[in-house]
Amino acid sequence: MNSDEVARMAADSDLQKAAHDVFLRSCEYKYSYNFSWMGRPIIQYPQDMVAMQEIIWAVQPDLIIETGIAHGGSLVYYASLLDLQGKDGLVLGIDIDIRAHNRVAIETHPMARRIQMIEGSAVDAVIVRKVAEVARRRKRVLVTLDSNHTHEHVLRELQLYSPFVTVGSYLVVFDTVVEDMPKSMFSDRPWGPGDSPKTAVHEFLKSSDRFEIDHGIERKLLFTVAPDGYLRCVKA
């Protein structure tokens, strides 16, 4: 990576505006729904998935916790990256509603041996205890949050799941970009500007000094659904 060029790109306000405009237009066509990984829809921007690959390779986690499963594409993606590392890595997915056809597809996938799923609300105390039981046996843990995107829910997830993240690893909050999008784009959703993952991140950081925003990641991506959402754990 050329740090000087990334800095120049980040300082180019015309380019940043153009990129954001393109991002908003792409959402009109459900751009993120166009991609899959090893046969499973991933529903993410490719740029963010490349960033996750870089993070996972650098951190070398032996456990990745993800809230929000959907079709399981990101579970499979993370599992395949752990598989390439050749270690005893596991991906743990939590979702309030794991559809039967998605469960079958994930459980019969070649990467299933590295995937475990828990059905239930990520903020339910019983579910968190189950996650803790898995996490306590792991040395290096990375967490991604991608379920309900309201401020209240994401803030609670941050409070409950941040303790699992180990020093040097990351807590990644997806769809913080909701805060930077027109309210009209969420007419059928309970979240939107002012009530989003990004507002939850900023609120969370007021009470935690264990994490800092890694702006370097979003600056080089140019297109990301997680501005201010790549949180690096800097303290035990």
Are residues 68 and 95 in contact, defined by beta-carbon separation less than 8 angstroms?
yes
**Structural domain boundaries enclosing 89:** 3-233
Please list the residues that pair with 94 across neighbouring strands: 67, 118
Helix (H) or strand (E) run with residue 154 in it: helix 151-161
Q: Residue 132 belongs to a domain with what CATH number? A: 3.40.50.150
| Structural domains in the chain (count) | 1
Position 105 scores a pLDDT of 98
Tell me the two tokens of residue 59.
């951190």
Position 1 scores a pLDDT of 83
pTM strictly above 0.95: yes
Helix (H, G, I), strand (E, B) or coil at 91: strand
Sign of the dihedral defined by the CA atoms of residues 216, 160, 79, 120, in that order: negative
Position 216 scores a pLDDT of 95
Position 6 scores a pLDDT of 95
In 3D space, the residue among 140, 116, 111 whose CA is nearest the CA of residue 127 turns out to be 116
Position 30 scores a pLDDT of 96
What are the average pLDDT values for consecutive 10-residue runs of the chain, which has 236 residues?
Answer: 93 97 97 98 97 98 98 98 96 98 98 98 98 97 98 98 98 98 94 98 98 97 97 97
